Amino acid sequence: MLQWQWATLAELSSLQWHEVGVLRQTVFVVEQTCPFPDLDAKDLDSHHLLGRNAEGRLVAYLRLVPAGHKYATPSLGRVVTAAEARGTGAGKALMLEGLAGHQRTYPGQPNTIGAQAYLSGFYQSLGFVPISETYLEDDIPHIDMVWTPPAA
């Protein structure tokens, strides 16, 4: 079971933000061999979700970006799990907590993501629906998908 922490960038300590940066760079830049500017202005306005394992290590992370940065709706992005947490259900737990946080912060609003195309089945299992053709972003195939909250 993961322990969750939601925070704005201003609420995170410098050590917590360093952990986030290391995890994001390890996966997105090093593992995926994709040099790109991972840290960006969206971090400033986003809500950040950190997931820690029983030993207190950061093993899961995403950010909830407000509408208007990339999409007309809020967006979950930079969804990442550490190698040690993959295959444990941590990714699904991360997304479920992310969607719950989205609903608390933006009740009734849809959420649009730019998913890596090979993960589209995973996101569809959570209720996301493809809304674009596959496209390249940083030389990685992506697809835009939208999640609509269930009717109350």
Quote the pLDDT of residue 148.
Answer: 97
Decide the pairing of beta strands 58-65 and 47-52.
Answer: antiparallel
Q: Report the C-alpha gap between 90 and 144 in whole angstroms.
A: 22
Could you tell me the residue ranges of all domains in the chain? Answer: 3-147
Q: Is the pTM above the cut of 0.85?
A: yes
| Residue 64 reports pLDDT greater than 70 | yes
Q: How far is CA 43 from CA 1, 111, 128, in A?
A: 26, 17, 23
- Give mean pLDDT, residues 123-144: 96
Domain 3-147: CATH class, spelled out: alpha beta
- Which range (33-42, 62-71, 94-103, 105-114) has the least confidence? 33-42
pLDDT at 152: 63
User: For residue 75, what pLDDT is reported?
Assistant: 98
